[in-house]
Amino acid sequence: MGDGVELGLRALALPGFLALRWWSQQGRVADAAQPRPRASLGLAMKVALDEFFFATEVVTLRLIAGQERHRIAHEVRSALRLYAKRGWLARPALYHRTPPALERTRFQASSASGVAFEQLSFESGYEPHLGEPGRRRWLSYDANRTAHAWIVRHPGPERPWVVCIPGFRMGNPTVDFTGFRVAWLHEELGLNVAVPVLPFHGPRRVGRRGGDGWLSGDFLDTVHAQAQAVWDARRVIRWLRREGAPSIAAYGVSLGGYTTGLLAALEPELDCVVAGIPAACFLGLARWNAPPLLLRAAERFGFEWERVERLLTVVSPLAFAPRVPQERLYLYAGMADRLAPPHQALELWRHWGEPRLAWYHGSHVSFLFEPDVEALLLEAFRDTGVLGRRPRIRAA
C-alpha cells in the first residue's frame, strides 16, 4: 500500500478514533486534587490545539508489522529476566551509570528567532549495557551518537544557568527557544541557558520526523532513549559545573518534564527543578489516549502491558525517590491538558511529597502563552536563589 493511500485511509478513520477516545475518557473519575476548568470559548480553542496535535500523531503513527511484534515481545521478556537478575527492577538507580566529564567539545556559532547561540556538540558516549536486548540496534543509530545542545550565554563572569529539557517533537532551535521563552530567560532574567537535544530529535533524528522511534511501541528503544536523555543532560550539567556555574536549575516540559523527574533523582546538587506539564508514566499516557478496546487488541497481538510496565520501571521518575530537597522542587500543569492529563502531574507531585504545584487555566500546548507559567518560573528561580546569585568569575 502506498504512503498516500495509507495516509488517506487513516485520515478517514480519524474522526471515529477521536470519538471513541473521547467517549472512553468520559467515564473516568477525576482526581479530587485536580481543579476543574471553567468552560469558555477561549478554553475550547486551547483544547483544540491539543486535539490537533494528537490528530497529527494518530495519522502519522507507524504501524508495527507482525514479525516486529514478535521481536519486541521477545526483547521485553529477555530484558525483564536480565533486569531482575542484575537487581535493576528492585533498585532502578543501579541501571543508570554516572557519565564521564566532557573532554572534547565542538562549538558552532548560529542564531534562531533573533537569539544568538552556540551549538555544542559532543560524542554522547551512551551505550546500553552489555548483553542488554536491543543494544546492537541502538548503536546502529549513527546520527544519535552525537549529542547536541543549544548554548545561550552572557559574556564575562559566569552566571546562573537553567538547563531546559525539551518535549516530544522539539529539538529545533527555533521551536525550543519559543517553547522555553529563551529570550526572556536570557535577556530579561539575565540567566545563561542550555537546551540539550533529546535522542532521536533534531540533528539526532533517525526517522522522517524528530522524535520518531521514541514512543513507537519498540519498548527497548524507549528505555534506551530515556536513559540516554538523562545521561546526556547529566554530561551537560557536569560541564557547566566545571565551567564555574554558580547555580544550575533544570526545567523540562512534557516529555522533558519526565526527564527532569529523573534528573531530580540522580543529580542531588541541582539548585532548582521545575517539571512543566510533565508526563510521569508512559503506559499511563497510552491508557489515557488510546481507547481500552484498542489496548486489549494490542495485548492480543503480543503487547503484554504488565511486562511493559515492569520494563519501564528502570526509566520511570515514579520509581526513584527525589534527591533534590522538596523546597527546590516545582511543578505546573494545565487544568484542561489533553495530552499529558492532570493526573500525570499529580502522580509526580505526590511522589515528590507534594511540593509547590501551580495550575493554569489551559491545555498542554497553551503553556506557551500562559501568565501563570511565567509566574511559577519566577517564583521558583527567586525562592531557590537562582535569580540573585552573584556572577562567578571563571578561574584563569
- What integer pLDDT is reported at residue 86 of this predicted model? 97
- What integer pLDDT is reported at residue 287 of this predicted model? 81
User: Of the ranges 26-30, 69-73, 303-307, 358-362, which one carries the lowest mean pLDDT score?
Assistant: 26-30
- What integer pLDDT is reported at residue 9 of this predicted model? 37
pLDDT at 383 exceeding the cut of 70: yes
Rounded Cα distance, 75 and 378, in Å: 45
Angle at 69 between CA 67 and CA 75, to 5 degrees: 105
Fold of 37-62+74-383: Rossmann fold (3.40.50)
Q: Read off the DSSP letter of residue 252.
A: E
pLDDT at 304 exceeding the cut of 70: yes
Q: Is 33 helix (H, G, I), strand (E, B) or coil?
A: coil
Continuous segment of H or E residues that includes residue 243: helix 219-243
Closest of 87, 92, 122 to residue 107, by C-alpha: 122
Joined grid coordinates for residue 118? 552556540
Q: Read off the DSSP letter of residue 103.
A: -
Q: What is the pTM of this model?
A: 0.90
Continuous segment of H or E residues that includes residue 272: strand 272-276
Beta strands in 85-143 (DSSP E): 106-112, 115-123
- Which residue would you say has higher pLDDT here, 283 or 294? 283
pLDDT at 12 exceeding the cut of 50: no
pLDDT at 294 exceeding the cut of 50: yes
- For 95-112, the pLDDT digits (tens) are 999 999 898 999 999 999
Rounded Cα distance, 148 and 116, in Å: 16
Order of all β-strands in the sheet with 146-152: 106-112, 115-123, 146-152, 192-196, 161-165, 248-253, 272-276, 329-334, 356-360
Angle at 36 between CA 33 and CA 40, to 5 degrees: 165
- What integer pLDDT is reported at residue 55 of this predicted model? 81
